[in-house]
Every structure is written in structure tokens, then in C-alpha cells.
Structure 1
Amino acid sequence: MERTISAQDRFEVQQNYRRYLKYQDQYETAFDRLKTSKASRVWLAALVALLFSFASEFFLGAAAALFGLYFYRIAKSWYDSFQVDEGREEVLRWFSGKGLKFEGRILYFRDDQMLESPLDPFAEEIYN
């Protein structure tokens, strides 16, 4: 039996598909920024400045500023990725309510366990 999507949902499926792809791109970018922020070696410079802070208050301030910069970058990246993930999850819930699911960037019917027949939301034959 061929599965189809209601023709009334056509516009919403296509718009939400575009929205999901946009969120997916933003999510990947934000997640990469988060990984880059965590991998930053600014904390090493802050640690070195902290070692010299015993001799000078300037180095104590510099260490605090560098630690602040490091944790600010991580917090901002995490917040941005969290915001994008919320939007992406909302679109995924909408598709789940319609009996569809995503595997990466490819759309399938939810009961397609083997992922044999990907859907193209812009093809005419999937709408009844």
C-alpha cells in the first residue's frame, strides 16, 4: 500500500521542511562554535597569568579577564546552540505529529523502519 500525505498539508509540510533544513544548518554551525569555544586555549594563558599574579595585581586582573572571556564564549555558544535546538525540536515534533521523521536531512514516514523510501516533500506523488 502506497502511503501519502494529505494535500491540505502540502504547504505546511514544504514550509516546515525548509524551516527544518535552516535549523539543521544553524544547529551544526552553533555546535561547531561550541566545540571551538570549549577547545580554546585561552584558559592556559589565564593560568599562566594567574601564576604571575602573586607578584602583581595586574596579572591577577588579566587572569580574571581571560578566564571571564573563556567562560563567556562557552556560555554564549551554549545558549545559541540551545536556542537553535529548541526551534529544531519544535519542527521535529510537528513532523512527528504528521507521522513523519527525519534521519539527518532526509524525510521518511515514521513506520519506515528500514529507511527504504525517502520522501521528497516537493514531489507531487506523495500527496493525495
Structure 2
Amino acid sequence: ADAFHGLTALDHLDISDNNADIVGTFQDLPKLGHISLDSNNMTTIPSQFIKTGSSDLSFIGLSHNNIVSVEPDAFDIVDGLHINMGFNSLSTLDEVTWRPYFEAGVTLAAGDNPLVCG
């Protein structure tokens, strides 16, 4: 994924349906508005994974993977950003990870995960 580093005009990136375990990060992509990584084989979203620096980022697609955890500070925080993490393996939404996003106006779709409420 570091192959995209510094592509300053890139505004849409779709790497869906590759059955890949995507490694690396997506950084310094100041025009990126939409990134789709759906239907791959990711299990953990590391810190600094999608840190584009773009104020235009409106959508991150991570559905239909095998994601069990998201580390704090994994994504840009942009008001109006929508993150789709449906159809994964999330059992919890850790407050330390997600509170900064929710407080900033980010929305999360997390349907069809084995979330335990309590």
C-alpha cells in the first residue's frame, strides 16, 4: 500500500475484491475522498493505517473482511466521514479507539458483526 504514498492528485482508490491481506499504510494523499478496501483478507487495522491528510475524505470501505480489531488513531478524523465496517468479525467497539471519531462527526456502519452489547 505504500506504493500510493505521495500521489497528491489521487481522489478515488478501490482495491476491493482482491482477497488480499493489505499491509502498509495510506498516507500523504491530500485529495483522496474515497477509499474502498472491501472484500479482502484484513484482520487488524493498525494505527496510522489511513492518514491521508485529506480534508475531502468522505468514505472508507472496509466491509466483508475478517477484521477483529481497530487500533486507536487508525484513520483520519474528518467531519462527515463515513466508515463502513459491516460484515466483519468485530465483537467490541473500543471506546478509546472510536470516541474521537464519533465526537468529530464520523459515522460508522458496523452491521453484521458479532458485536457484544453490555
More strand by share: 2
TM-score w.r.t. length of structure 1: 0.21
Q: Select the structure of larger CA radius of gyration.
A: 1
Higher relative contact order (CA 8 A, sep 6+): 1
TM-score w.r.t. length of structure 2: 0.23
More helix by share: 1
